[in-house]
A and B are shown apart, each in its own frame.
Chain A
């Protein structure tokens, strides 16, 4: 038998393969770590893994949700353990291979240098990644699992146990009338909202930038600063101000602007149609300054000769805008415009702070202006439909992740040539 196979086989008990390769210090370190791991985590893993499979068996003793939390952490701990275990076998195998080929193994000092050298990137990534695991990745895994349980207001610990129910939540979202209709209408509005609000804010931004940057316009600086104000004021403040302005009975829009014009009060907050109009208006108000500021930068970088040549060829202003300005602006800002769309797709603040996703609508369990993200929030916080909310979250994430993957395939960050 070759050294590599023997070493790898012996490594089933961590450290033994290293002993076989006569790397005693490393072997001890591996064995010691493995023993510590078992002493520290065995009980926790035992309960955790049992918990995540059964979600508890006795009512007052077991709290399903806490068991689920511990279960997820157990899985993460097991994952780290397996990673270490794999590395232990891999290391024994590689060193065995060196011996097979008659190469000298690294001395202890060389091993130390090797660890410091190869370990450096992990040391750098480590702290941030650990935090990421607990506050971002763990919660997402938890939600993913929750989507396959029956956790809701009527079925929640400590009074009751939660059970695994497979794909029931997903099936119900699409088979029960109220859920399906709500999902479809919320999803449709999310798409309409994303497209109209973003497109409007982008067009207004580009339009104002073009108008403002004509050479003959005076006081450019002051006008620009005034127009950029909505971006400077924190958005949550502006949205709350708007919810006062648009108030049906007392708001200034109905009272001071529409009334003198002889227009009857418009039910901004109580009729879904008008709430939607108001929301799109508010988002355009909030969003256009950034696009305008960015476009201004692009406009200033377009060489003047282009326009002069166009004038010589007899192009009208409209032609110049359509054939030179717009393509230049769209081309250079395209990636940012895409992020504007994804931002609005998940723009919780404007929907929730303005009118709580409302007004309420008959025959569905979401407000008239809820987008997916605010619907999830309301399902969780108001109606305690935890597992349904989790299922919607999973659907939402699937949409987002597939978009992200599609975008990632086109980027260069993947490549790693020229690196250490």
Chain B
């Protein structure tokens, strides 16, 4: 067998592998898009290429369900969570990176442990606490819980990044008479924009993807988030509103997918930065 044929076989196999991978990846996505245009309501009539394509489900989604409200709720919650998380995390991580204070080591250790225990193991306690302070079924409670849960892991991310900014910068600013906060605001903050962008991205996406906390803390229909709303749509009357669910998913997946694809490189850099150092 000559080198040339060996190469040809290798390339053919490679393309075959890639093509089958693409088929497996794309099939569920195409299937759900197809289903959303399907005239029937049920799962059994869902096909990739609908026979009499219709937009009825999209109309129904807007006219007869709270879908748009869920969408708005989700975006609102994600946005506020993002802003608060970036503020809290940026400040906390700065202290951990630059100052020696009593409790620093234990604080870091605590954060490390907390980031490994998923927040929702304590759902019962979170529920009872929210109930006692009268915040059950409010977005405020949900946002607080999200922000709190994001702090440990992302503080590590930001701290690792701050650590790479030379301390000489702070010192020379201090000699020039800048105060603590001024150093943070005018020197560190502008330099740490990349990591703060990554944290902003994470803190926007993770409440978006959360199902469990939202499903427990929120009970009324008009306060639900997309994850809970879509879940109920598919589980309550399984099969009967599958195409409706499909339409709903498509409208979630497309904008978020596009946003993600355009920001993908930041995700990779962020996750890599979080993992490699520590």
**A interface residues (Cβ-Cβ under 8 A, vs B):** 65-66, 69, 117-118, 120-122, 124-125, 127-129, 131-132, 134-140, 142-143, 146, 208, 211-212, 214, 216-217, 223, 225-238, 240-245, 247, 249-252, 255-256, 285, 290, 293-294, 297, 317, 332-333, 335-336, 338-339, 342, 346, 348-349, 352-353, 373, 376-377, 380-381, 386, 389-390, 393, 396-397, 400-401, 403-405, 407-408, 411-414, 416, 418-420
Contact = CB atoms under 8 A, between A and B. Distances in A.
B95 A121 contact: yes
Given A132-B114, A233-B29, A412 B105 contact: no
A232 B119 contact: no
Contacts, number: 287
B134 interface: no
A348 B118 contact: yes
Interface of B: 7, 10-11, 14-15, 17-18, 21-22, 24-26, 28-29, 31-32, 35, 42-44, 46-48, 88-89, 91-92, 94-96, 98-101, 104-105, 107-110, 112-114, 116-126, 128-129, 132, 144-145, 147-149, 151-152, 155-156, 159-160, 167, 180-181, 184, 208-209, 211-212, 216, 227, 230-231, 234, 239, 242, 245-246, 249, 252-253, 256-258, 260-261, 264, 268, 271-272, 274-278
B94 A124 contact: yes
Nearest to A127: B88
A250 B42 contact: yes
Contacts of A342: 116
Contact of B121 (A243, A373, A419): A373
Contacts of B264: 228, 231-232, 293
B278 A411 contact: yes
Given A227-B22, A251-B43, A413-B156, A124 B144 contact: no
Q: Identify which of A128, A208, A390, A396 gathers the most chain B CB atoms within 10 Å of its CB.
A: A128
A370 to B, nearest CB: 14
A290 B271 contact: yes
Given A128-B151, A245-B31, A336-B276, A389 B117 contact: no
Nearest to B160: A413
Contacts of B211: 236, 349, 352-353
A420 B120 contact: no
Given A336-B272, A349-B211, 10 more contacts: A120-B95, A136-B119, A136-B151, A223-B22, A348-B120, A377-B123, A380-B123, A380-B124, A404-B116, A419-B100
Given A229-B29, A243-B234, A245-B28, A125 B89 contact: no
A247 to B, nearest CB: 6
A65 B108 CA distance: 31
A242 B28 contact: yes
A373 to B, nearest CB: 7
B100 A416 contact: yes
Nearest to B258: A232
Given A135-B144, A236-B227, A122 B121 contact: no
A234 B253 contact: yes
Contacts of B249: 237, 240-241
B209 A231 contact: no
Contact of B125 (A132, A139, A348): A139
Given A240-B231, A413-B108, A131 B147 contact: yes
The 10 closest A-B pairs by CB, nearest first: A139-B122, A135-B148, A139-B125, A121-B99, A336-B275, A142-B125, A124-B95, A128-B88, A250-B44, A411-B278
Contacts of A235: 209
Contacts of A335: 275-276, 278
A136 B120 contact: no
B156 to A, nearest CB: 7
Contact of A297 (B26, B94, B181, B268): B268
* Residue among B94, B117, B234 with max Cβ neighbours from chain A (10 Å): B117
Nearest to A252: B31
Given A127-B88, A132-B148, A240-B245, A393 B121 contact: yes
A244 B46 contact: yes
B227 to A, nearest CB: 5
B246 to A, nearest CB: 8
B113 A401 contact: yes
A241 B234 CA distance: 9
A291 to B, nearest CB: 11
Contacts of B24: 285
Contacts of B94: 124
A333 B274 CA distance: 11
Given A125-B95, A353-B231, A131 B18 contact: no
Contacts of A240: 230-231, 234, 245, 249
A416 B180 contact: no
11 contacts: A120-B95, A128-B155, A129-B92, A241-B249, A244-B35, A346-B118, A377-B212, A393-B122, A408-B109, A412-B278, A416-B100
Contact of B124 (A241, A346, A389, A411): A389
B275 A121 contact: no
A236 B26 CA distance: 17
Contact of A418 (B167, B231, B246): B167
B99 A139 contact: no
Nearest to B22: A226
